[in-house]
Every structure is written in C-alpha cells, then in structure tokens.
Amino acid sequence: MMIKTISKIGNSQGIIFDSALLQLARLKVGDEVNVEVHRGGTITISPISALPPPEEVRSLIHDTMNRYATTMRKLA
C-alpha cells in the first residue's frame, strides 16, 4: 500500500506517480488510462491497451495460415 497526497498542479489538483509506482503499474508517461469512480469513493485507474493496426493483424493471420497450411487442410 502506498499513501499519496493530492497536490496542487497548476490550476488543478493531482497525484504524482513516481517512477516506482509507474513501473509497478506497467505504465509510462503518455499512456492512456480509464478512470472509474465507484460507490464509496474508490477510484480505479486502468491502462488502455492499444490495439495493433489492422495491417499487422492481417499479416499475422496470413503468416499463421501459411505456416500451418497442411494442418489447416487436414482440419477442414
């Protein structure tokens, strides 16, 4: 458990995430996160994982189909 203090940051308020906390959460500067406020005031911050580009997905499917063509024919 880590105790953090809400600080004034410019015209806003925030919590500073030191490098150890970011590393534990597997986050880095610039990552997008989803922030949810739950009943009772609990706040959950979850990383938003980026989807690979469609060309990359297409290429991986194509490579897999080529690599396992014989197996795929047997399964069909």
Structure confidence by residue, pLDDT tens digits, 18-76 = 999 999 988 999 999 999 999 999 999 999 987 788 999 999 999 999 999 999 888 88
pTM for the model stands at 0.56
pLDDT of residue 64: 92
Q: Residue 33: CB partners within 8 Å, gap ≥ 6? A: 27, 45, 46, 47, 48
Mean pLDDT within 3-30 = 93
In the predicted model, what is the mean pLDDT of the chain? 91
Query: Which domains are present in the chain?
Result: 7-75 (2.10.260)
pLDDT at position 42 is 95
